[in-house]
Amino acid sequence: MAERREMNRILVTGAVGQIGSELTVALRHRYGAENVVATGHRTKPTGELCEGGPFEYIDVAQRQTLEAVVDKYGIDTIYHMAAILSAVGEERPLLAWNVNINGLHNVLEVARERGLARVFCPSSIAVFGPDTPRDDTPQETILRPTTMYGVTKVSGELLCDYYVRRFGVDVRGVRYPGIISSETLPGGGTTDYAVAIYYAAVEKGHYTCFVREDTVLPMMYMPDCVRGTIDLMEADFDQLRHHADFNMSSMSFSAGELAAEIKKHVPDFEVEYKPDARQAIADSWPCSIDDSAAREEWGWQPEYDLAAMTADMLAKLRQRAAAGRLYLGEGPTCP
Ligand code: SER
């Protein structure tokens, strides 16, 4: 592997999305606001994301729109966060394939042709399927997903690893669990209930949950997600045996346990359970994840558990609700 280039000029795709919006702000604090270009497809950014540094519109599925921004800003690093998530992917599988596979291929080709320093591409617990061991799911295991989102994520991991091996492009990625956050709402995922429930607790005092009470999934709080993502990108390449497929875990709980934790802060909170089509997706994913490879190879260590996350989420949302701005803007819209 050739000598590593520095990460000086960063582009974030999907920067208006749930993870991208907070990752962009963190990257701007770390690398300088003018060195981090936020990009989005259709959704207009708001607040710090809009005012805090450069923003450009691109469509990752149209390679020339990506190339133009990479060349304009002399980009050497891409965090490729743009994707169609699991629930929308089942409604629009061709769109999911186009954005998640052709979009990723465009990013990797731009990185190969221009000799970029590094690319980050998230994978997901959606790479697993009903045949995968559900508890403490190993790093190396059966990857036979039943959703289009999962199919694109398995293919994406393989494509990233191919670019590392075949072309020497430094691509890194993790299998995110469900991500819970207080700023931008998630858009079109199966784990969205674990965010929506907090907003409902603060706003209405009741929530109708679209998965069963006993549904257990791996989850993570956004501060851990952002810190871990940047840590992996800054890790020494020579310490990594895996590249784009690290299991990454933090906590696991059922929808009922989540509701019970919120009730400690909102005693009258009521939750009813009305499973919809997303239940089948949740049932095909693991309950808990073995992330020892991430811990060993780049020092991954989560900080938040369910209690700490819930206290922080409710404090932030209550503060905003009191100021009359609980919702900071919509999550990413589907093109
Ligand atoms: N949060 C994603 C989803 O639910 C999983 O990666 O689709």
Verify that 41 and 121 share a domain, yes or no: yes
Q: What is the pLDDT, as a whole number, of residue 44?
A: 74
CA-178 nearest atom, ligand 1: 1
- Quick one: tokens of 227? 């810190």
Asked, for residue 62, whether it belongs to a domain, the answer is: yes
pLDDT in tens, the chain (335 residues): 456 678 899 999 999 999 999 999 999 999 999 999 999 998 778 778 888 999 999 999 999 999 999 999 999 999 999 999 999 999 999 999 999 999 999 999 999 999 999 999 999 999 999 999 999 999 999 999 999 999 999 999 999 999 999 999 999 999 999 999 999 999 899 999 999 999 999 999 999 999 999 999 999 999 999 999 999 999 999 999 999 999 999 999 999 999 999 999 999 999 999 999 999 999 999 999 999 999 999 999 999 999 999 999 999 999 999 999 999 865 444 33
Q: Whose CA is nearest to atom 3 of ligand 1?
A: 189
What is the best residue among 18, 123, 149 to mutate for testing ligand 1's pocket, by most ligand atoms within 8 Å of CB? 149
Is residue 5 in some structural domain?
no
Same domain, residue pair 105 and 129: yes
Distance 178 CA to ligand 1 centre (A): 6
Do residues 124 and 213 share a domain?
no
In this prediction, residue 332 carries a pLDDT of: 47
Say how many residues make up the chain. Answer: 335
What phi, psi does 160 have (nearest 5°)? Answer: -60, -45
Report d(CA 103, CA 272) in Å as an integer: 38
How far, in Å, from the CA of 74 to the mean position of ligand 1?
Answer: 32
**Which residues pair with residue 119 across a beta bridge?**
78, 171
Ligand 1: atom nearest CA of 153 is 6
Whether 63 and 20 map to the same domain: the answer is: yes
Ligand 1 midpoint to CA 189 (Å): 5
Co-location of 232 and 210 in the same domain: no
Q: Are residues 138 and 229 in the same domain?
A: yes
Helix (H, G, I), strand (E, B) or coil at 272: strand
- Is residue 98 domain-shared with residue 238, that is, in the same domain? yes
| Ligand 1 nearest-atom number relative to CA 285 | 5
DSSP state of 126: G
291 occurs within a structural domain:
no
CATH for 315: 3.90.25
CA 85 to ligand 1: nearest atom:
7
Are 77 and 108 in the same domain? yes
140/210 same-domain check: no
How far, in Å, from the CA of 281 to the mean position of ligand 1? 10
CA distance to 113, 131, 144, 175, 315, per residue, from 134 (Å)? 40, 8, 13, 15, 33
Indicate whether 114 and 161 sit together in one domain. Answer: yes
Residues 6+ apart with CB under 8 A from 201: 207, 262, 265, 266, 269, 314
Instruction: State residue 51's pLDDT score.
Output: 84
First to last CA, the chain: 38
On the 0-12 / 13-18 / 19+ scale of CB atoms within 10 A, 109 is middle
Distance in angstroms (rounded) separating the CA atoms of residues 207 and 142: 35
DSSP structure class, residue 121: -
Contact residues of ligand 1, CB 6 A cut-off: 85-86, 124-126, 149, 176, 178, 189-191
Claim to verify: residue 233 and residue 136 sit in the same structural domain: yes
* Residue 155 within any structural domain of the chain: yes
187: amino acid identity, one letter: G
Query: Within a domain: residue 193?
Result: yes
Per-residue model confidence (pLDDT) at position 3: 62
- Per the annotation, the verdict on 149 as an active-site residue is yes
Instruction: Please check whether residue 109 lies inside any domain of the structure.
Output: yes
Number of domains in the chain: 2
Report the CATH number at residue 137.
3.40.50.720
If residue 118 lies in a helix (H) or strand (E), which one and from where to where? strand 118-120
**Among 124, 248, 249, which residue has the most ligand 1 atoms within 8 Å of its CB, making it the best to mutate?**
124
Residue nearest to atom 2 of ligand 1 (CA): 189
Is residue 333 in some structural domain? no
Please give the residue range of the domain that contains residue 230: 10-178+220-247
Of the residues 31, 57, 79, 149, which is catalytic?
149
Same domain, 126 and 189: no
**Is 331 within a domain?**
no
Give the separation between CA 195 and CA 67, rounded to whole angstroms: 34
CA of 5 to the centre of ligand 1 (A): 32
